[in-house]
Amino acid sequence: MASPGSGFWSFGSEDGSGDPENPGTARAWCQVAQKFTGGIGNKLCALLYGDSEKPAESGGTVPPRAATRKVACTCDQKPCSCPKPDVNYAFLHATDLLPACDGERHTLAFLQEVMNILLQYVVKSFDRTTKVIDFHYPNELLQEYNWELADQPQNLEEILTNCQTTLKYAIKTGHPRYFNQLSTGLDMVGLAADWLTSTANTNMFTYEIAPVFVLLEYVTLKKMREIVGWPGGSGDGIFSPGGAISNMYAMLIARYKMFPEVKEKGMAAVPRLIAFTSEHSHFSLKKGAAALGIGTDSVILIKCDERGKMIPSDLERRILEVKQKGFVPFLVSATAGTTVYGAFDPLLAVADICRKYKIWMHVDAAWGGGLLMSQKHKWKLSGVERANSVTWNPHKMMGVPLQCSALLVREEGLMQSCNQMHASYLFQQDKHYDLSYDTGDKALQCGRHVDVFKLWLMWRAKGTTGFEAHIDKCLELAEYLYNIIKNREGYEMVFDGKPQHTNVCFWYVPPSLRTLEDNEERMSRLSKVAPVIKARMMEQGTTMVSYQPLGDKVNFFRMVISNPAATHQDIDFLIEEIERLGQDL
């Protein structure tokens, strides 16, 4: 385990150089530096190795930056003409950086140094010979580095070490073998856009302080509404901090549309409201209902078929039941891409029912929305154009860096009237520009992070066709996985048939369980298989995939593919790895 100050070396130990004091790491770093254009790599290496462009064979015992300085000055002529590093971070503090007088030089050098650390991490993230994670238990991690906050400042050398240590223990979410969540991968243009967003460091509430980003949100949301199928991209929308909040916003707006007095009078002034969603839907619907004062008991879970799709006849039956009791159905949230099975509710049938009973139709397409970009797969969301609101998270299937979640609303102006409070210190009515671009009163948030730029820039860089290719490839990989394991010994599918999304749900049955009868003992033993394999995966850092129980089904693996770096070989690797780690169970 690395001690403070040696984090940089620890990076290197992953790729075989082993001993943290081995100069092989400096060499590896130099190889990275060599990727720079225009001879900059040589300069960087020269700095590392005392102006010799080849790694010195004799090892140092200190991290490269410090080593640089020592090696660069081993000559015995003082003063000498050896190149000397201009910056010694151990003597510098944050107060030496901009806006300090003459802080430019140190600032540029420091930020470039940080950037070198980040670039190295990026390159390693895509390298299959590195670990997905260097896993440590919480108590280990708390003890093995000093993370505490103190009265006195650290110097910039220590700050750089903090950065390296943080990345050393981070999950490489861009690694080709990271499949753990719906959001995986690391898009280079998206990353660049997020760096720019950080640098611009502003807030979405008014055009005044975020002119470009507000316009890009306008352009991007309109495009997304066009793709959903609303005529001319008309309607409204906002980027919110995640799908759960987007779903809650939809519920809030649906309630307001039916009973606008709820804004002033609260739930006491309205009849009992009931929301409907499938038993496979995301838990955020219940969270939202609890928060909005509707209560989780008023969220009715509609039965699903074997594939996890909402059964429309059950929806209609429950609506009638509720109406008979005198309650008011106000929202149906259909899911386009359920979290575990990747199921698409039958949106056209749901839309018919919503129209019949005059209920707000929301589509939670947080996970499945990306498929709208694909000519081949968008039929799975047929009927989404009839929704009143849609949650669509580009940070999932479209590979946009976290966070990027859109709520789209068909009726314009409703978000504003539902949420506005007319704060005069932000939304002055006598400003000199068109106030419709001050979007801050559309949402519950006051300050709002700029989430649009990374999506917009990725879209410019990939084109709609680029997103389509990415999505088609991920779905093809899921089918590839399905085809391999459906008849393979030791595997059982959780549900039959080709995956509709990239979710492939299966049990791995170790040899010792294969001959057991299908009884409670077998179920009990099977339920322990996935957690143990997963723990071993993490401890060895080779790959990561999720598992969970669902209903009466004991722990099974849920493989999802949104990672643009994944290939057929990575799918093969996953299978081999599950078998390697699970065969003795």
Q: Which 42-81 positions form the footprint of a copy of itself (CB under 8 A)?
A: 43-44, 46-47
Task: Kindly give the interhelix angle for 24-33 and 64-71, rounded to the nearest 10 degrees.
Answer: 90
What are the strands of the beta sheet with 328-335, ordered from one edge? 236-240, 405-409, 389-392, 360-364, 328-335, 273-278, 299-302
- Per rule CB under 8 A, is residue 301 in the interface with a copy of itself? no
Of residues 163 and 493, the one with the C-beta less far from a copy of itself: 163
Of residues 385 and 438, the one with the C-beta less far from a copy of itself: 438
Total binding residues toward a copy of itself, as defined by CB under 8 A: 190
**Shortest Å, Cβ 236 to a copy of itself:** 17
**Shortest Å, Cβ 56 to a copy of itself:** 18
Of residues 180 and 312, the one with the C-beta less far from a copy of itself: 180
Count CA atoms within 13 Å of residue 204 on its CB side: 26
152-181 positions binding a copy of itself, by CB under 8 A: 152-154, 156, 158-159, 162-163, 165-167, 169-171, 173-174, 176, 180-181
- Per rule CB under 8 A, is residue 320 in the interface with a copy of itself? no
Structure tokens at 78: 């003082």
The helix/strand/coil state of 332 is: strand
Under a CB-based contact definition with an 8 Å cutoff, are residues 309 and 279 in contact? Answer: no
Q: Output the CA torsion sign for 80, 85, 89, 92.
A: positive
- Per rule CB under 8 A, is residue 342 in the interface with a copy of itself? no
Interface pattern 391-420 for a copy of itself (x via CB under 8 A): ----x-----xxx-x-------------x-
Q: Residues 122, 311, 484, 523: which binds a copy of itself (CB under 8 A)? A: 122
CA distance 545 to 578: 10
Residue 564 preceded by cis peptide, ω within 30: no
By the 10 Å C-beta count (0-12 exposed, 13-18 middle, 19+ buried), 333 is classed as buried
Q: Residues 6, 25, 500, 555: which binds a copy of itself (CB under 8 A)? A: 555
**Shortest Å, Cβ 313 to a copy of itself:** 27
Interface pattern 17-46 for a copy of itself (x via CB under 8 A): ---------------x--xxxxxx--xx-x
- Per rule CB under 8 A, is residue 143 in the interface with a copy of itself? no
**Shortest Å, Cβ 227 to a copy of itself:** 10
Q: Residues 65, 410, 501, 558: which binds a copy of itself (CB under 8 A)? A: 558
Q: Residues 22, 135, 279, 417: which binds a copy of itself (CB under 8 A)? A: 135
183-202 positions binding a copy of itself, by CB under 8 A: 183, 186-189, 191-202
Question: b or e along 524-549 (b: 16 or more beta carbons within 10 Å of the residue's beta carbon)?
Answer: ebbbebbeebbebbbeebbbbbbbee
CA distance 67 to 166: 21
In sequence order, which residues have a C-beta less than 8 Å from that of residue 389 and are 6 or more positions away? 250, 253, 254, 360, 361, 362, 363, 407, 408, 409, 410
467-526 positions binding a copy of itself, by CB under 8 A: none
**Shortest Å, Cβ 271 to a copy of itself:** 9
Q: Residues 434, 517, 518, 520: which binds a copy of itself (CB under 8 A)? A: 434
**Shortest Å, Cβ 444 to a copy of itself:** 5
Interface pattern 201-240 for a copy of itself (x via CB under 8 A): xxx---xxxxxxxxxx--xx--x-----------------
By the 10 Å C-beta count (0-12 exposed, 13-18 middle, 19+ buried), 483 is classed as exposed
Q: Where are the alpha helices (DSSP H) in 379-509?
A: 414-419, 452-485
In sequence order, which residues have a C-beta less than 8 Å from that of residue 288 and are 6 or more positions away? 244, 247, 248, 251, 252, 294
Q: Which residues partner with 178 through β-bridges?
A: 544
